Amino acid sequence: MTGWSEIAQYIMSGLTTGSVYALVAIGFCLVYNATRIVNFAQGDFLSLGGLMMYSFLVVSGVPVWLSFPGAVLVVAVVGGLLERLCLRPARSREITNLIFITIAASILMRGLFKQVWGKDAMALPPLSPDQPMRFLGATFTPQNMWVLLITVLCIALLMLFFRFTLTGKAIRATAANPRAAALMGIDTNRMTMYSFGLAGALGATAGALITPITSLSYGVGVIIGLKGFAAAVLGGYGSFAGAILGGVALGLFESLAAGMISSAYKDVFAFVALLAALFIRPGGFMGVTEKERV
């Protein structure tokens, strides 16, 4: 039988990965709201976040409080460049085409990462020295706490940004109605670029937080990125609240199912749950189910 302490343990690790899924999912939503496309390079933002952190912290010996924001900044710039150099010059505005541009960019980025950082796994140290703590019978590390804390902080900062800054409001206006926003004098192209930059920053944050727990390699972001996509879909694509809810729900469910039933089938549980949820509610938790207009 599974004891309470074990369940508490699963919940703890579920919340940790769930937070990371939520960060990635918000990144997907930001890009979707600005452009209506799925950015399949989101997972690579996550990889790059971890890899840059490794280069700053381990290779160059830059202190943690500087290498973390440094990694986030670099990936934010890469995100902006993806929009500026690959999506904006695209000859077609068709969604499918744009989505596959992000897939091609993802292949290219993974090739570059492999070239720069090599194929082998690297060990990224946690933000603060590992000292296992006990709470309600569950053992957790300071890194678990960091993940939760920084995720909450990111979400709070994003909310403040979108509510109170001019740029934040302009990004929201662009998402709501690009034409009207442009008529009001908003540089919508720039806002789209900022959205990609923010998505990059969120991906990098997720990467720098989770790779000390999982492992770090050039392709680590692929599967976490897909889970983040699943979380966004589960929550209702484009909704921030949905992304957070979807991420945490997916993380918890996955961790509990893996712990109590079978860890080999962890991904099966996650995606079967996702499919079942979609079949019952085709628009996700918070999504507005689109009405057919004839």
Partner 1 sequence: MNSSGKSFFIVMALLAAIIGAVPLVVTNPYYLNTLNVVALHVIIVTGLNMLIGFAGHISLGHAAFFGLGAYTSGILTGSYGWPPLFTIFFAAAAVACLALIIGVPTLRLKGNYLVMATLGFNIIVGVFMVQLDNLTGGPSGYAGVPPLQFFGRSMDSDLNFYGLVWAVALTGMILARNLAYSRVGRGLRALHDSPAAAAAVGVPIERTKVKVFIFSAVYASVAGSLYAHYYGIITPKTFDIFKSVELVTMCIIGGMGSLWGGFFGAAFLTPLPELLDFFQEYSDIIFGGILLVLLIFMPEGLVGWIEKRFQGSRKEAD
- Residues within window 57-86 making contact with partner 1, judged by CB under 8 A: 86
- Terminal-to-terminal C-alpha distance of the chain: 55
Q: How far apart are CA 53 and CA 69, in angstroms?
A: 9
Q: For partner 1, which stretch binds (CB under 8 A), given 16-24, 69-77, 192-200, 261-269?
A: 261-269
- Nearest residue (CB) to partner 1, 213 versus 278: 278
Q: Does 95 bind partner 1 (CB under 8 A)?
A: yes
**In whole angstroms, what is the distance from residue 143 CA to residue 151 CA?**
12
Name the residue among 14, 18, 38 with its Cα closest to residue 28. Answer: 38
Rounded to an integer, what distance in angstroms lies between the CA atom of residue 258 and that of residue 36? 33
Among 115, 139, 165, 215, binds partner 1 (CB under 8 A): 115
Judged by CB under 8 A, which of 52, 53, 109, 224 binds partner 1?
Answer: 109
- Taking Cα atoms as reference points, which of 170, 140, 109 lies closest to residue 13? 140
Q: Is 263 in the site for partner 1 (CB under 8 A)?
A: no
| Structure token pair of residue 173 | 């206006």
Residue 152 or 261: the one with the smaller Cβ distance to partner 1 is 261
Out of 3, 61, 65, 92, the residue judged to bind partner 1 by CB under 8 A: 92
Contact criterion met (CB below 8 Å) for 51 and 113: yes
Contact status, residue 38 vs residue 32, Cβ threshold 8 Å: yes
Binding of partner 1 by 104 (CB under 8 A): yes
32, 161 in Cβ contact below 8 A? no
Strand partners, 138: 135
Q: Using CB under 8 A, which residues numbered 122 to 181 contact partner 1? A: none
Closer to partner 1 at the Cβ: 59 or 116? 116
Residue of the chain from 154, 201, 274, 286 that contacts partner 1 (CB under 8 A): 274
| Beta-carbon contacts of residue 234 (< 8 Å; ≥ 6 apart) | 242, 246, 249, 250, 274, 277, 278, 284, 285
Count interface residues toward partner 1 (CB under 8 A): 48
**The one among 137, 157, 282, 288 contacting partner 1 by CB under 8 A:** 282
Mark 15-44 with x for binding to partner 1 (rule: CB under 8 A) and - for no binding: -----------------x-----x------
Residues that bind partner 1 (CB under 8 A): 32, 38, 86, 89-92, 94-97, 99-101, 103-112, 114-115, 226, 229-230, 233, 237, 264-265, 267-268, 271-272, 274-275, 278-279, 282-284, 290, 292-294
